Amino acid sequence: MKTFRFLEINKLVYCILSIIAITVYFLKLNEYQLPMLIHNYLNDLLCLPLVLGIITYIIRFLKKDAQFKLPLGFVICLATYYAVYFEFYQPKINSRYTSDWIDVLLYFIGGFSYFFVTRFKMKKNN
């Protein structure tokens, strides 16, 4: 019963974070003036928790294992990939992208936050 409640809360939080990220994206797309921190950094912070949530959901569905958790090494590898791809590679080939070390930090903060929050909640509910 506790695992079910945990999964429902996770889905709610995931939906809220998704709505926030999509809203920021569309406001930026329509050139709405957002505060600088939200405009430049919020979606970078939310990116990895959202991607990792999708990956976790898919793996849990395919394995039929509601307790599956992504390993820390995978989270670090994915954060590193995003940092290199979006902050090193893309700015060199596409003027739409800019390199920003704060974005790199936010990818890792988002990834580690996802990892530790899911670990803490799973332990608390077991």
Closest CA to 42 of 57, 15, 23: 23
Task: Return the pLDDT at 96.
Answer: 87
Q: How far apart are CA 1 and CA 14, in angstroms?
A: 20
pLDDT digits (tens, 9 = 90+) for 71-120: 999 999 999 999 999 999 999 999 988 999 999 999 999 999 999 998 87
Structurally, the chain folds into a number of domains equal to 1
Q: Whole-prediction pTM value?
A: 0.86
Residues 6+ apart with CB under 8 A from 112: 75, 79
Helix (H), strand (E) counts: the chain = 6, 0
Residue type, 112: F
* Domain span holding position 23: 2-125
